[in-house]
Amino acid sequence: MKLDFAKKQIDGYNILTMVSQIDNLYDIVLDFNGMNILRVTNILDEDLSFKTVDENPAIGKSLRIFLSNPLMKGKQIDIIVYYQTNDGQTAVSWVPKENTLGKHMDFMYTQCEPIHCRSLIPMQDSPSMKFTYDIEVETERSFISFASANFTKEVFSGGTRKSFFSNKIPTAGYLIALVSGELVETKVGERTYVITEPEMVDAAVAELNELDRTIKEMEKYTGIPYVWGNYRIVILPPNFPYGGMENPLLTLATPYILVGDKSGVTVANHEIAHSWTGNLVTNMNWDNFWLNEGFTVFLERKISKILNNDTFVKIDARNGNSSMYQAMIGYGLDNKYSSLYPRSGKSNPDDAFSTIPYEKGYQFLLYLESLDGETNF
C-alpha cells in the first residue's frame, strides 16, 4: 500500500489466498468501508465482476465478488482487490507535523479494533477470521514505517522507500497496525524495543526498560512461551484516543504513560498480557469481548502482584471497579451494554466498548477463582 500524506489517502491492493469451505462456491463476500473499490482480478490479472452492497451503514459495506468458475470444497483461489481510501475511512489517523513532538514531519497511525480494518484493507473483518499476512508499505524516502509484523527488507527507488513485513502467526484483522513518520527504534531489553520520535527516546527508555521482566513473569505464570519473537511498543502523538492497543509486534501507546515514575507501565503490562489472551486466544465475536479483556486484566493483575505487591493490585482493582460502575451508570444499569454479553446485533460494536468488559470480566474470573482456589484455577 502507498501512503500519500499530502492527500491523506492510501492506494493499495490486497491479495487474498482463500480456500473454499463448500462445494460449488460462486461468490466471495468481503467487508469494506471508507474506500473506493477500483478493480477485482484473479491471479492471472483477469477481471472478476463484483458489486457493493450498503445494507448497514453502522458497520460498513459488503463487496460481493463473483467467480468465473465455481470452486469446489478444499480448492484454493487467489483474488486481488485494488482500492483507494476516501474521507469515509475510520482506520487511519493522519497527524500534521504541527501536532507531533518534533514538528518536522507528518505522522500516521492506524487503529483497527474492533471493525475498522475494513477501512484499511478489504477483507473478512471478524475476530473469528485469523490469517497470516505480508505487508508492503510505500512512502516518501524520509518516512520510517513499522507494521504489526516482522520487518524483512527495505527497497529504495528514487525518492521512495518500500518497507516489507511478514507475520507467520495466524492473527485477526483487528490487530493489523501501521505507523509511519519520523521514528527511532531503541532496544531496551533482550526481547523488547521502544519506537518513538527522536525527542522522546530518553524518556521512553527510562520508563519502559523493564518490560523483559514482565514477559518472563507472564511466561512463568501461564506456562506458555511468548511466541511473537520481539515486543515493540510505539509511543504515539497525544491525539491517540486510547491508553494502548495490543497489536502483536507493534503495541501502540499514548505518550501519557511516560510520567517519570513508572506508574504508567501498567498500560504496557496490559498490552503484553494480550500476547496470550486476545492475540493468541481470541474472542470469536465482539459480543464476547470480555473474554479478551477480562482475562487480560486478570493476567495483568496477577503479574502486577509479583512486580509490585498485593496492595497495589487491590487499589488498581478498586479504581477499576469505580470506573466500571460509572460506565454502567452512563449506559443505564439495565442497558444491554452494562452486561458481559451485550448482544450488539447490527449495531457497531464500538458502541459497547467501555471499561465494563475489562473490569466486570475480571471480577467474574476472580469470583470463579474464589470457588476453586487460586492454585487449581
Residues assigned a catalytic role = 271, 358
Task: Quote the CA–CA distance of 363 and 257 in Å, as a whole number.
Answer: 25
Q: In Å, what is the CA distance from 5 to each residue of 98, 133, 170, 346, 355?
A: 14, 24, 30, 33, 34
Beta strands in 318-363 (DSSP E): none
Task: Quote the CA–CA distance of 300 and 306 in Å, as a whole number.
Answer: 10
Region at 169 (left for phi over 0; alpha for psi -120 to 50; beta for the rest): beta
Q: In this structure, what C-alpha cell is assigned to residue 359? A: 473490569
The 3-state secondary structure of 42-67 reads ECCCCECCEEEEEEECCCEEEEEEEE
Beta strands in 35-159 (DSSP E): 35-42, 50-56, 60-71, 76-85, 92-95, 107-110, 130-140, 144-147, 150-157
Task: Quote the CA–CA distance of 107 and 179 in Å, as a whole number.
Answer: 8
> Which DSSP category does 175 fall into?
G
Return the closest-CA partner of residue 126 out of 60, 75, 191. Answer: 60
Task: Quote the CA–CA distance of 126 and 115 in Å, as a whole number.
Answer: 7
Spell 20-59 as b/e; 16+ CB within 10 A means b: beeeebeebebbbbbbebeebbbeeeeebebeeeeeeeeb
Task: Quote the CA–CA distance of 101 and 264 in Å, as a whole number.
Answer: 19
Give the number of other Cβ atoms within 10 Å of residue 331's Cβ: 17
Cβ pair 79, 42 in contact under 8 A: yes
Grid cell 514477559 in the structure block, residue: 215
